[in-house]
Amino acid sequence: MELLELMRTRRSIRKYDGRPVEEEKLARVLEAGRLAPSARNMQEWKFVVVRGSRLEALTKACNGQQMVQEAGAAIAVCATENHMMGCGQPSATVDCSIALSFMLLEAEELGLGMCWLGSFMAPAVKEALDLPEDWTVVAVSPLGYPAESPDARPRKPLGELVVTLTD
């Protein structure tokens, strides 16, 4: 599928059928994250794959969002280092966000669904997954086979978003 078409059809999936995600597909989703750009190419991230009974603990740390437990897996994207980039943005947030964006697109290409969770308690995620204290949990997403096909959400027209500066 052409990349822009993939971006147009991708949806946040909040209902999953519970089927396990095959190792080959999981590996491709993780590879997409690995290939993402990062500040100074430091790749200071870890992709924590969660399956089985750990999904229950992760669900609690994600404020009880059942989609986490219903999916075949979940991925927590964590930063192992964090520094302010020259532009004033934290590398952890930017780098991990780009990596998860790449993973979301690859999941869509493979017929899988993901949903970037905006509601989780980072300290509880670290505890539920026994993560090192110095890691920063930046993002969490379930990963699995969709049990829904949501309609597209509205997008603002390009003219409202683009500012062109000329001499």
Residue type present at position 10: R
User: Helix 91-109 crosses helix 23-34 at what angle (to 10 degrees)?
Assistant: 140
% the chain with pLDDT above 70:
100
Rounded to an integer, the average pLDDT of 10-28 is: 96
Residue 72 has pLDDT above 90, yes or no: no
Q: What is the mean pLDDT of the chain?
A: 96
Rounded to an integer, the average pLDDT of 9-14 is: 96
Rounded to an integer, the average pLDDT of 37-53 is: 96
Residue 69 has pLDDT above 90, yes or no: yes
Residue 73 has pLDDT above 80, yes or no: yes
* Local structure of 140: helix, strand or coil: strand
Question: Domain 3-151 falls in which CATH fold?
Answer: NADH Oxidase (3.40.109)
pLDDT digits (tens, 9 = 90+) for 85-135: 999 999 999 999 999 999 999 999 999 999 999 999 999 999 999 999 999
Rounded to an integer, the average pLDDT of 130-141 is: 97
Residue 13: pLDDT band with limits 50, 70, 90: very high
C-alpha closest to that of 73 among 115, 105, 123, 135: 115
Alpha helices in the chain (DSSP H): 3-9, 23-34, 54-61, 67-70, 91-109, 122-129, 158-161
Q: What residues contact residue 139 under an 8 Å CB cut-off, 6+ apart?
A: 76, 77, 96, 97, 100, 116, 117
